[in-house]
Amino acid sequence: MELTPHYQKEIECLHCKKKFKTTKLRSKFVKVEKQESDFQPVYLNNEANPLFYNVFVCEHCGFSFTEDFTKYFAPGVKEEIQEKISTNWTPHSFGDERTIDQAISAYKLAYLSGTVKKEKAVAIAGLALRTAWLYRINKNHEQELRFISIARNLYSDSYSSEDYAGTQMSELRIIYMIAELSRRLGDREQATRFFSRAIEKQSSTVEPKLIEMAKEQWQLMRGEKEKGAQ
Ligand SMILES: [Zn+2]
């Protein structure tokens, strides 16, 4: 039998514990063409874009999550999920191949679920950022910026509360993201502050690539300013 790019996997819902099917992509079909300055991986073929399948949507209760969600539910949270999500949910499946619009809906459901569950700001920021990337693919600039703004503000919350500790995100990466997303939003003041904060870390960092990216993007922003001033 010939291998297809997509396959189905069974997932257990973190909330209601029932099982449901979700689609995943075989990595051998996933081809990255390049990476954008906010780490969006650009794939050669959007038919095989793994971003579409990061979110697991429970068809039974509507609770939606990613592998980054913790298994822990604080007291009272399960009741709140029931009230804010499950009672409004008409059971339907997101388990097959997804269109980009279905992928966006899945991220929005995960954003709501993560917010109600009080996941870390850094995790919810990642959901908002990926929603922005999908709107970028769809060339919907207005919605892209709306979600870039949400992500930037959540990364700022994460930076202040240091809730990124123990995750894949380092302090330098959070600083870089705040700077770069601010640049994309046209918030030069915040972008300048955080690009320089990133570059200040160049003697102590183990991530020299990020320092280089910060320098490049800061230069790019300065160029844009000069152009604008002419
Ligand atoms: Zn469920």
User: Mean pLDDT, to the nearest integer, of 137-153?
Assistant: 98
- Residue 11: the pLDDT is 97
Q: Is pLDDT of 90 > 70?
A: yes
Closest CA to 67 of 136, 131, 20, 14: 14
Distance 28 CA to ligand 1 centre (A): 30
Q: Is pLDDT of 229 > 70?
A: no
- Residue 6: the pLDDT is 94
> In DSSP terms, which residues pair with 40 in a beta bridge?
none
Tens-place pLDDT, residues 41-79? 999 987 889 999 999 999 999 999 999 999 999 999 999
Write the CB contacts of 220 (distance below 8 Å, at least 6 apart in sequence): 183
Distance 55 CA to ligand 1 centre (A): 13
Between 1 and 105, name the one with better pLDDT: 105
Task: Report the share of the chain in percent with pLDDT over 90.
Answer: 91
Distance 63 CA to ligand 1 centre (A): 5
As residues whose CB is below 5 A from the ion ligand 1, the structure lists: 13, 15-16, 58, 60-61, 63
User: Mean pLDDT, to the nearest integer, of 95-106?
Assistant: 96
pTM of the model: 0.94
Q: Is pLDDT of 228 > 80?
A: no
Listed as own residue / partner, the contacts of 15-21 with beta carbons closer than 8 Å and 24 or more positions apart are 15/58, 15/61, 15/63, 15/73, 15/78, 15/81, 15/86, 16/58, 16/60, 16/61, 16/63, 16/86, 18/58, 18/60, 18/61, 20/56, 20/58, 20/59, 20/60, 20/93, 20/95, 21/93, 21/95
Q: What is the mean pLDDT of the chain?
A: 95
Distance 208 CA to ligand 1 centre (A): 42
Distance 23 CA to ligand 1 centre (A): 16
Cα(185)–Cα(196) distance, integer angstroms: 17
